[in-house]
A and B are shown apart, each in its own frame.
Chain A
Amino acid sequence: MLEILGLLAQGFVIVFEPQNLLLIIAGCALGLFIGAMPGLGSVNGVAILLPLTFLVPPTGAIIFLAAIYYGAMYGGAISSIMLGIPGASTAVATTFDGRPLAKQGLADKALIGAAVASFVGGSISVVLFTFFAPPLAHVALVFGAPEEFALMMLAFATFVGLGGDDIFKTLFSICIGLVLSAVGFDIISGEPRLVLWDITGFLHGVNFLVLAIGIYGIGEMLWTVEEHALGGGKSMLSEATVSVKRTVSALRELVVTWKSTVMGSFLGYFVGILPAAGATPGSLMAYGIAKQISKEPEKFGEGAIEGVCAPEAANNAASTGSMLPMLTLGIPGSPTTAILLGGMVIWGLEPGPRLFVDHSEFVWGLIASLYAANLFTLLINIAFIPVFIKVLKTPFTILAPIIFTLCLIGGYAPTQDMHDVWLMIVFGIVGYLMRKLDYPLAPAVLAIVLGPLAEPALRQSLIISEGSFMIFFERVYAGPIMVVALILLFLPLFKKAYVRIRKPRAAAE
């Protein structure tokens, strides 16, 4: 306990270095901006801006990106409330009551409620994080190759079992990500492998950023271009009156929401830890439970402030939760943390529990920065609400070319090879076409990041066991993890069988 506080204090020393403090503030502001833009969320921001972080040392880079992640979670609420369009999928639940409040002329109340709830959600989760992470990392230190592989299976199985998308399409997405990560050289024999169509550009492999920017940059923007054209390019921006007096009274009225906010924070944190779940289902679940525990459930959907606070607390808590497995186990808890994890590899860090031992300044700098980012985002958010509302008025046709420009250069920067830029365009267009057919793409991004870690883990395990897959079931930690993974993997089948057995019975009754 004392040891943890000591390490946290060291983390704060790192955070208060002027450069890092500046990075946090810049990250929070940028994140708020990105989150507020309809269609763009934390994952897009982190993917597009990661190449910019080559400038600073890893600790600064992760602090900056984590601040964007945080800020975007706050920012998503702004367009949910003002436009009725979720700023990111994580803010969908915020539209349910945020939009009605805005229509009643109470936009400022909803915005402040969202900001305060986000702050509470962020604070509770970061405290949980501080005390959960070190023991978990300590347990994970004894993990060997079989455990690592079992954990990755678990991460992928959650997408199949809990993701809610078409199972075949989810499986396809996972496998294509893994195969793309196998392009380049075989790590053990050193032979060139999967040099597609014998194009030499594939010899250096498929960089995860190329896929991530392709899907979350180019593909997402094409998707937004389409939405824009469908909507005639116009959306209704609500009016918001902001004054100090109204702010103070809005803050006072938030007392009634404490129960749903705290509930949302805990729920969001634990849901956020699961790779396939994360902030979007976390916030939707929090909304549902807030409605159930409310004394006036009939007000939900008509402008209940709890309906704004619960999901906003949950999505911020979830973003912190998703960092727990990323830091301690090396398994990302969300697409955004998958990109952060990929970033760590680029910066020369090896993800996993050893980070706590070998790069303690990196880990604790990040954790302390979450405390700071949480506070700064609240302050920036409340102080600049009118500015962010103006941001929503920026025409899409000005933002789009700027974002496309960043994507093109971001795709080129890591390897400085035009081949990668072309590949990114292909991923963007194909990803857009697949998304229109409900192919989930987040599993592919997670897979391309985990692929280079999963394959050696599997091969080493099989070498140890001389080819027997039983090694994944016989070990103390790997066994239970693998069993849970298999259950999740077959969960959709169980569900189907259950419905089939139930149906004839129900009909007979």
Chain B
Amino acid sequence: MTVRTAELLMAIMMGVFSIYLMVKSAELPIGWIEEEGPGGGTWPFWLSAIMLASCVGILFNWVRKKGPIATSTKTYIESHVLGDVAAVAAALIVTVALFSVIGIYGALPLFLIFYIRFLGKHSWALTATLTVAIPVLIFYFFEITLKIILPKGITEPLFLPLYKIFL
């Protein structure tokens, strides 16, 4: 996909999203209410309208072939780069999905092993050290010091003794 095509798709997508936002804003009154001033939907409604107008403007420039992006025939994301970026993005999504299932202390080590060992190709010794050290530091800092309880999923019962000691 070229940058030019990506520009078109993005503008259309954002235009559609703007229309959705306008419709959603209009669930609240968008006109003037006596004694109250502008209705609750007015502000987001008109802002979304400007968003839509901007998208139309971007499309207009696209049709006229104006500007470096609208005329670029370069590949949007190079194929040899796409693999790396997609792998990282997918790893993040899987990790967040796993947060609610096996908890942050189950998902995070998996993410770290994947990134450090398989993407970074570092030694197992280094991978193991960081995989243990980072979650321990996170637990110490966030849960003990800041008292922010991070999601544990099914691993919750394992932490009960730790809560008793620290919280």
A binds B: yes
Residue positions of A touching B, CB distance < 8 A: 52, 54-55, 166-169, 171-172, 175-176, 178-179, 182, 186, 188-189, 191, 193-196, 218, 221-222, 225-226, 228-230, 395, 397-398, 400-402, 404-405, 408-409, 412-413, 416, 418, 421-422, 425, 428-429, 432-434, 436-439, 455, 458-460, 462-463, 467
Contact assessment for B78 and A230 in the assembled complex, using a CB-CB cutoff below 8 Å: yes
Known contacts A179-B44, A179-B48, A191-B28: A222-B89 contact under CB 8 Å: yes
Residue positions of B touching A, CB distance < 8 A: 3, 6-7, 10, 14, 21, 24-25, 27-28, 32, 36-41, 43-44, 47-48, 50-51, 53-55, 57-58, 61, 67-69, 76-78, 80-81, 83-85, 88-89, 92-93, 95-96, 99-100, 104, 108, 111-112, 115-116, 119-122, 126, 130, 134, 138, 141-142, 145-146, 148-151
Considering the chains assembled together, what is the distance between the CA atoms of A120 and B135 in angstroms?
A: 41
In the assembled complex, how far is the CB of residue A281 from the closest CB belonging to chain B, in whole angstroms?
19
Considering the chains assembled together, what is the distance between the CA atoms of A437 and B74 in angstroms?
A: 12
Inter-chain residue pair count (beta carbon < 8 A): 182
Contact assessment for A229 and B100 in the assembled complex, using a CB-CB cutoff below 8 Å: no
Considering the chains assembled together, what is the distance between the CA atoms of A404 and B90 in angstroms?
A: 13
B47 contact from A167, A179, A405, A436, Cβ within 8 A: A179
In the assembled complex, how far is the CB of residue A213 from the closest CB belonging to chain B, in whole angstroms?
12
Pick the most buried of B43, B80, B111, B142: most chain A CB atoms within 10 A of its CB. B43
- Kindly report which residue of chain A lies nearest to residue B114, judged by CB atoms: A401
* Chain B neighbourhood of A412, CB < 8 A: 148, 150-151
Known contacts A194-B24, A398-B130: A408-B51 contact under CB 8 Å: no
B116 contact from A221, A401, A418, Cβ within 8 A: A401
Contact assessment for A193 and B54 in the assembled complex, using a CB-CB cutoff below 8 Å: no
Contact assessment for B116 and A172 in the assembled complex, using a CB-CB cutoff below 8 Å: no
Known contacts A175-B51, A225-B88, A402-B134: A436-B61 contact under CB 8 Å: no
Contact assessment for B76 and A436 in the assembled complex, using a CB-CB cutoff below 8 Å: yes
B67 contact from A166, A178, A433, A458, Cβ within 8 A: A166
B84 contact from A182, A194, A225, Cβ within 8 A: A225
Complex A-B: 6 CB contacts under 8 Å: A166-B69, A175-B50, A191-B28, A194-B21, A404-B88, A412-B148
Main secondary structure of the interface of B (DSSP, over half): helix
* Chain B neighbourhood of A404, CB < 8 A: 88, 92, 111, 115
Known contacts A52-B141, A179-B51, A397-B122: A189-B28 contact under CB 8 Å: yes
Contact assessment for B57 and A168 in the assembled complex, using a CB-CB cutoff below 8 Å: yes
Considering the chains assembled together, what is the distance between the CA atoms of A467 and B32 in angstroms?
A: 8
* Chain B neighbourhood of A429, CB < 8 A: 89
* Chain A neighbourhood of B96, CB < 8 A: 408, 418, 421-422, 425
Known contacts A186-B40, A405-B111, A436-B77: A175-B134 contact under CB 8 Å: no
Considering the chains assembled together, what is the distance between the CA atoms of A169 and B80 in angstroms?
A: 28
- Kindly report which residue of chain B lies nearest to residue A447, judged by CB atoms: B47
Contact assessment for B37 and A463 in the assembled complex, using a CB-CB cutoff below 8 Å: yes
Considering the chains assembled together, what is the distance between the CA atoms of A398 and B21 in angstroms?
A: 40
Considering the chains assembled together, what is the distance between the CA atoms of A405 and B93 in angstroms?
A: 12
* Chain B neighbourhood of A221, CB < 8 A: 88
B115 contact from A167, A218, A400, Cβ within 8 A: A400
B112 contact from A175, A222, A405, A432, Cβ within 8 A: A405
- Kindly report which residue of chain A lies nearest to residue B42, judged by CB atoms: A459
Contact assessment for B145 and A55 in the assembled complex, using a CB-CB cutoff below 8 Å: yes
Pick the most buried of B28, B92, B104, B149: most chain A CB atoms within 10 A of its CB. B92
Considering the chains assembled together, what is the distance between the CA atoms of A438 and B47 in angstroms?
A: 21
Known contacts A172-B51, A438-B69: A191-B84 contact under CB 8 Å: no
Known contacts A193-B44, A397-B116: A171-B54 contact under CB 8 Å: yes
In the assembled complex, how far is the CB of residue B53 from the closest CB belonging to chain A, in whole angstroms?
8
Known contacts A179-B47, A459-B37, A462-B38: A421-B54 contact under CB 8 Å: no
Known contacts A179-B51, A194-B44: A401-B111 contact under CB 8 Å: yes
A55 contact from B38, B126, B146, Cβ within 8 A: B146
Contact assessment for A437 and B10 in the assembled complex, using a CB-CB cutoff below 8 Å: yes
* Chain B neighbourhood of A439, CB < 8 A: 10
Known contacts A182-B43, A193-B40, A467-B37: A425-B93 contact under CB 8 Å: yes
- Kindly report which residue of chain B lies nearest to residue A222, judged by CB atoms: B85
In the assembled complex, how far is the CB of residue B119 from the closest CB belonging to chain A, in whole angstroms?
6
Q: Which 8 pairs across A and B sit closest by C-beta, in order of nearness?
A: A397-B120, A186-B40, A168-B57, A401-B115, A172-B54, A463-B37, A182-B44, A168-B54
